[in-house]
Amino acid sequence: MRWCFGFIIWTAVALSFALRSYLIAIYDLRANVSWKTILSGYLIDFYLWGLLSPLIFLLARRFELRRHLTVNLFIHAILSAVLSFVVVAVAAPAFWYLGYPNLTNNPTLGALFRNTVFSPFYIHMGLMNYWMTLVVAHASHYYRGLREGETKAALLATQLAQAQLQALKMQIHPHFIFNTLNSIAALLHKDVEAADRMIVQLGDFLRMTLKRSDTRTTDFAQELEFLKCYLDIERTRFQDRLLVELDVEPQALKASVPNLILQPIVENAIRHGVARQTITGCIIIRAYKKNDRLMMQVEDNGPGLTTNGNSDKSSSGGIGLSNTRARLKQFYGDDYKLEIANSKGRGVIVTLEIPATDEGRNER
């Protein structure tokens, strides 16, 4: 493919120079020359330079002008002169055969080389071809380096994003485990069977999370299974003080979501909504599609936002909500919403809106 492209380029250049020389000869010099003769000569000359192009590209890489400019510039000046003499020397017999106007019909060997190899015109053409090819070679090397740099930068950015996401997930897990172990420790003094059941449930949850530790995204159906496993632990802890309602549309179950994206929000709702009141707490989890968006909501019947517009959830939620925002930023940039507001009755509602896609089940 490269050879074909190079052939087309050198042919086009030869045609351009041949046409210019032919028009000058016909209209300015009033010379009787053949278009075929002039075109053939230029094609021979430029095709020879085309064959030397890989060598010039190699020399351009070996003696880059951006490194040691003075020395490498001098080296290229010598190389351009040498290759110009070589090309003209190889092409000289063809010029003689074609009967170029500046050659006699039967030139001697000395006359042949004097009018070609040592001709200022042919030397100038050779130098021009070398430096023109050298400029293209440097531009090509620079462009290739730029593309490779962009590719490496994109790869590093992806690796950095994955590392940041993994770090955020690793922060969530100890936070949840610490709270659960505290609950188990408290239950051991009140209800040993409940504490034992909670340990088993925690083990089940940890097995699920470890099994999917490398998973970046999952469908909402599996995210819901995680939440159910987590809520089983919290039900054991709060017993009759925690009610859970699920309002999930079937269309939302196949939507792709970041792994464990809702668990910190639900944990925050229980911590600041259910745990801080003596009446029965209720957590409502909703999920539905709205146009091309996936809407997820976690609502509680806790004390709600404070009068100054701030929420204990947003200020004290700490790792949970801050990591959720950070993970959403990594996944979707600015194409997401995470809003915290008072619900119509009592409590707080957290609304999460992301693009609705069904692709990438268990994406790693």
- Residue 363 binned pLDDT confidence (cut-offs 50, 70, 90): low
Helix (H/G/I), strand (E/B), else coil: 300: strand
222 vs 22, higher pLDDT: 222
Query: What would the mean pLDDT of 85-101 be, rounded to a whole number?
Result: 71
Question: What is 188-355's CATH number?
Answer: 3.30.565.10
For the four alpha carbons of 48, 52, 57 and 61, in that order, the dihedral sign comes to negative
- Residue 111 binned pLDDT confidence (cut-offs 50, 70, 90): low
Please name the amino acid found at residue 270.
I
**Res 361 pLDDT > 70:** no
- Residue 311 binned pLDDT confidence (cut-offs 50, 70, 90): very low
CA-to-CA dists, residue 69 to 59, 63, 74, 147, angstroms: 14, 9, 8, 24
Query: What would the mean pLDDT of 83-100 be, rounded to a whole number?
Result: 74
Encode pLDDT of 124-165 as tens digits: 888 888 988 898 888 888 888 888 878 877 776 666 666 555
**Res 43 pLDDT > 70:** yes
Are the beta carbons of 334 and 230 closer than 8 angstroms?
no
Encode pLDDT of 331-340 as tens digits: 888 999 999 9
355 vs 216, higher pLDDT: 355
Please name the amino acid found at residue 47.
Y
DSSP 239: G
Q: For residue 334, how far is the Cα from the chain centroid?
A: 17
- Residue 253 binned pLDDT confidence (cut-offs 50, 70, 90): very high
Taking the domains of the chain in order of start, what are their residue ranges? Answer: 2-152, 188-355
- Residue 103 binned pLDDT confidence (cut-offs 50, 70, 90): very low
CA-to-CA dists, residue 177 to 127, 223, 279, 296, angstroms: 75, 18, 26, 24
Among the listed ranges 34-38, 238-242, 255-259, 317-321, which one has the minimum average pLDDT value?
Answer: 317-321
**Res 207 pLDDT > 60:** yes
Q: Which residues contact 287 (CB under 8 A, 6 or more apart)?
A: 220, 224, 247, 248, 249, 252, 253, 255, 294, 295, 296, 297
* pTM for the model: 0.53
Closest by CA position to 263, among listed 151, 140, 172, 143: 172
**Res 1 pLDDT > 70:** no
**Res 100 pLDDT > 70:** no
171 vs 73, higher pLDDT: 73
